[in-house]
Structure formats: C-alpha cells, structure tokens
Amino acid sequence: MSTCVNKSTETWNEMQDYYKNILEGSIRFGSDVCSLKATQMMTKGARNALSLVHEDIKERYFGCGLPLPSCLLEAHVLDLGCGTGRDVYLLSKMVGPNGHVTGIDMTDELLSFAKQYVDYHCQAFGYNESNVDFKEGYIEKLSASGIKANQFDVIVSNCVINLSPDKQSVLKEAYTSLKDGGEIFFSDMYANKPIPDTLKTNKSLWGDGLAGALTWSQLLEIAAEVGFTRPRLYAIRKINVNKPEHKELVGDIQYASITCRLFKLPSKASGNSTESEVKFNGTEDHLDKLVFDNSVTFTTGTRTVVDGTLAAILKHSRYAKHFSFTSSSTEAPPPQNGISDPFELLSCK
C-alpha cells in the first residue's frame, strides 16, 4: 500500500512541475492532442459563452476534447483538473446564475491564475455574484478537499484523468460526489492496446498523456466495478504522435481523444427498467435535435423507442424534464451505444 501511495505522490509532483509551464506558454505537446476540432462541435450557447471568456484564460487552455454536455441550466458542476479555468468559466455561463461550478486542481499556480478572473467573468456574464469557486486538491481524494457526497449533477474533465496514477480512485470519488441520476462527462486520451510498464516511467510520455492512457476495455471494467452505467461514446478523434522520440517509443500503439459519458443511476432503477417510447421536447439550445451520444440523436417532437438502460438514464437524470415517456408497444431495440472498440470507428472515417 505504501508503495502505491509513494508512486502516486511522485507522479503528482512530476505533473505539477510539468503543467506549471502552461503559464509561461512553454509546454510543447508531443502530439496534436489540443485541437480546434472540438471547439467546432460547440452549440451556439457554448460558442457564445466562449466568446465572453477572457483571452488570457483561453490562451492558456489545454485539453483533448469538449466536456460540455447539454441541458446544464441551474446544474451544479464539478470540473476535475480545471487548470487555469477555461472550462469552469464556460460552464459558469452555461449553468446560469442559479447554477454553480467548482473547479479542482492540484497545482496552486494554475488555480491562482484562474482566480484572478472571477470578478471579470461575473461582470461579463451579467451576474450579481459569482457562481464559481476553486479548490486545491487531488481528483483521487475529492472528499479531502471538502467535496461532499451526492453534491453534483454533473462532473466534467478535459484530458486529465489519463494523467492520474490511480484512475479507479478518480471514478470512485466521482461516483460518490454525484447525485443519483448524475453523470461524469469527460474527454480523455485512450490507446488501442495496453501501455507497456516500461513506458509508464517516462515522465515526458506521461505528461503528454501517452503513457497513462487507458484502453476502452479497461475503462469499461473500471466503470462497471465502480457502479456506473456502461460508458457511452460521445465523440472520438485520432491523435497523432508527432515527436520523433515519442513515436519511436510508442511504436504501433494508436491513440485517440474520446469523449464519453457515464451515469450514476439510483439503485431502484438498476436492472428494473424496460424499453420506453420517448419524445424529446426541445430546449433553447437544442431546438431541432439533441445529440445524446455517437449513435443516438433525438429529433424534437419525434417519438423514439429506447432500450431499458437509456430509458432509465433519461427518466432519472436532469434530462427527464425535456422528455415525454410512454410504454413501448414495439419490439425493444438492441442495446444502444454498446460499442466494444471505438478505434474501429476511426478506420471508417
């Protein structure tokens, strides 16, 4: 046990030193992990929010995806590994003045930078008081930073969990901190095969997210052990390894940025749900359709038959108020978004 703790502390210290450099703009990733493609997928509301975020914050952003789920108005959100706060401030606008966003990060220098812009964004968004706060701490130990059980509707993270030396603890803590019906919606780097132990000691590979990447099957296993629903793939994008020295080390390992969502269902809903016919009623930011994941899109006003798991997610989450439900009289569809290998999708693009 002590060896595990020592290894975690060593990794945390190394990552703190590595990511402090973001303030000086001296980080040069060995892959194209940070991409504008994610920004292009934003809804109109998210793009509007981003336009109001201070340029200093945007210039010091790093991430591999777009952890901005839909229907966030008045939600309480936690951002794991918030860094300099770009996603915190984006979410601050999206949840509205009656919602709240907490950012947690282990690097004091990044948090100090983020906190300088609290008042700026409060004024930019037209709020009477700020709806954000920042905490210093480890995402593997949320309760030690004052994060309470059943506190949040949504947890997000942008290319941070893959940097953790103990990903199972991260997801356990997230599960505890979520309300019933809550979800963790996060972007991360994944590999198409297990990372050899010999690569996991390379500080540069770990800092770039290449050495700590899970496989999709490893994520499925951890999520099931913790108690989450099966991860639902939202988006995937290939990541190219650019540094020659990194390419030589990782060999034929392929990498991808994957955004997915895991839900925490109440115990009464687990295993007892049946297929339903649902109708999406639209929202201000989703007038015509709602893209729920890679394989499920709801069209406003159209009835859709969904499997039992998805029916339970919609009924017990913040999405319930945006849907109408009736019992299905048609044959149940096969499980939706039961993707076993997302990397197969990349070969189709």
What's the DSSP call for residue 29?
Answer: -
Grade residue 132 by pLDDT with cuts at 50, 70 and 90. Answer: very high
Q: What percent of the chain has pLDDT over 70?
A: 85
Per-residue pLDDT tens over the stretch 1-22? 344 445 555 655 555 655 555 5
pLDDT reported for residue 147: 97
Indicate the helix (H) or strand (E) that contains 153.
Answer: strand 152-158
Other Cβ atoms within 10 Å of 267 Cβ, number = 9
Token digits of residue 45: 């509301």
Average pLDDT of the residues in 117-134: 97
SS3 assignment, position 171: helix
Per-residue pLDDT tens over the stretch 44-59? 888 899 999 999 999 8
**Main-chain phi, psi angles of 70, to 5 degrees:** -85, 170
Is residue 26 over pLDDT 50? Answer: no
pLDDT reported for residue 42: 78
CB within 8 Å of 173: residues ≥ 6 apart: 139, 140, 141, 142, 143, 147
Using CA atoms, how far residue 116 sits from 25, 85, 102, 134, in Å, is 18, 10, 15, 11
pLDDT reported for residue 271: 58
- Residue whose pair of structure tokens reads 């109708």 in the numeric block: 279
Burial state string for 101-128 with b = 16 or more CB within 10 A and e = fewer than 16: bbbbbbbeebbebbeebbebbbebbebe
pLDDT reported for residue 214: 97
- The domain ranges of the chain are 2-268, 269-327
What's the DSSP call for residue 59?
Answer: H
Instruction: Give the integer Cα–Cα distance in Å for 156 and 178.
Output: 11
Grade residue 129 by pLDDT with cuts at 50, 70 and 90. Answer: very high
Per-residue pLDDT tens over the stretch 203-236? 889 988 899 999 999 999 999 999 999 999 999 9
Between these two residues, 254 and 329, which has the higher pLDDT value? 254
Q: Is residue 118 within 8 Å of 100, Cβ to Cβ?
A: no
pLDDT reported for residue 5: 47
Q: Which of 89-103, 272-286, 294-308 has the lowest mean pLDDT?
A: 272-286
Token digits of residue 130: 């700020």
Q: What is the pTM of this model?
A: 0.89
What's the topology of domain 269-327?
Answer: Ribosomal Protein L9; domain 1 (3.40.5)
pLDDT reported for residue 41: 65
CB within 8 Å of 308: residues ≥ 6 apart: 273, 274, 275, 276, 332
Is residue 278 over pLDDT 90? Answer: yes
Q: Is residue 254 within 8 Å of 191, Cβ to Cβ?
A: yes
pLDDT reported for residue 31: 47
Q: Is residue 83 within 8 Å of 110, Cβ to Cβ?
A: yes
Instruction: Give the integer Cα–Cα distance in Å for 201 and 222.
Output: 22
The percent of the chain in helix, strand and coil, each rounded to the nearest 5, is 35, 25, 40
Mean pLDDT of the chain: 87
Per-residue pLDDT tens over the stretch 290-342? 999 999 999 999 999 999 899 999 999 999 999 999 876 666 677 777 788 89
pLDDT reported for residue 65: 78
Check if CATH label 3.90.930.12 holds for domain 2-268: no
Q: What is the dihedral of CA 173, 46, 52, 132, to 10 degrees?
A: -20
Is residue 63 over pLDDT 80? Answer: no
Grade residue 284 by pLDDT with cuts at 50, 70 and 90. Answer: confident
